[in-house]
Amino acid sequence: MTNKPKFLLLLTMIKVNKLISVFLGLVMIIAFFGKGIALEEFEIEIKTMLIPFLSAITGVPSERQAIIKEVGMFILPLVLLILLIESLIGLFLLFEVQVRASALSLVLLLLTFTLVLIVNILYPSSELKTCGCFGVLWEEPITWWSVLRNIVLIGMAWIVYRSEASRK
C-alpha cells in the first residue's frame, strides 16, 4: 500500500518530464523556423551580436568593421550550424530520441546564448535591434528578461537531463 503513492509520484514525474521535454522541443523548433524563414536577417543579427562579444573577449575596441572582416567568412556557417543544432535538439526532444543528450546539448546551447546576451547587455551595440532568439516570429530587444527566460529554459532542460539520468 505504501508503494502505490511512490509509484504514482514517479509516474506523475515521468509525465511532467515528458511534457517539459515536448515543450522545449517545440520552443526549439519555433526558434529554428523563426530564424530559418529569414536567414539573411538572422545572419545580420549574429554579426551585430558578435561584435560586442568579440570586443569583450579579445579586448579589441569595437572597431566593428575590423572585427567583422576577420570573422565574416565564419558567420554563414555559424548561422547554419545554429539552425542545424536547434532543429536536431527540437526534433530529438519532441520524438524522444536521445533525450538525455539532447537536454544536455540544450543546456550548453542556451548557456552560450545567455553569455552572448549578457555581453550584449553590458556592451550594447546601437545597430542591434532585437535578440534574434525567435527570428522574425517574435522580435524582442535584448534585456535582462531575455536572460531570465533563458535561465528558466536552462532549468527546464536540466530537469529533463537529470530525470533521464536517474531513470537509467
pLDDT of residue 11: 56
Tell me whether residue 3 is in a domain: no
Q: Structural domain tally of the chain?
A: 1
**Whole-prediction pTM:** 0.83
Q: Is residue 2 part of a domain?
A: no
4 occurs within a structural domain: no
Provide the pLDDT for residue 1. 47
Grid cell digits, residue 29: 523548433
Structural domain boundaries enclosing 148: 9-167
Rounded to whole angstroms, the Cα distance separating 17 from 140 reads 28
Task: Check: CB of residue 137 under 8 Å from CB of residue 30.
Answer: yes
In a domain, 1, yes or no: no
Q: Do the domain assignments include residue 104? A: yes
Task: Say what the pLDDT of residue 44 is.
Answer: 81
| Intervals of the chain under pLDDT 70 | 1-14, 60-71, 126-127, 165-168
Asked if residue 131 is part of any domain, the answer here is yes
* Interaxial angle between packed helices 3-36 and 144-167, expressed in degrees from 0 to 180 and rounded to the nearest 10: 130
**What's residue 145's pLDDT?**
93
Q: Is residue 155 a part of any domain in this protein?
A: yes
Extract the C-alpha cell encoding 92.
Answer: 530529438
Please write the tens of the pLDDT for every residue from 113-131.
Answer: 999 889 888 877 766 777 7
What is the predicted pLDDT for the residue at 151? 97
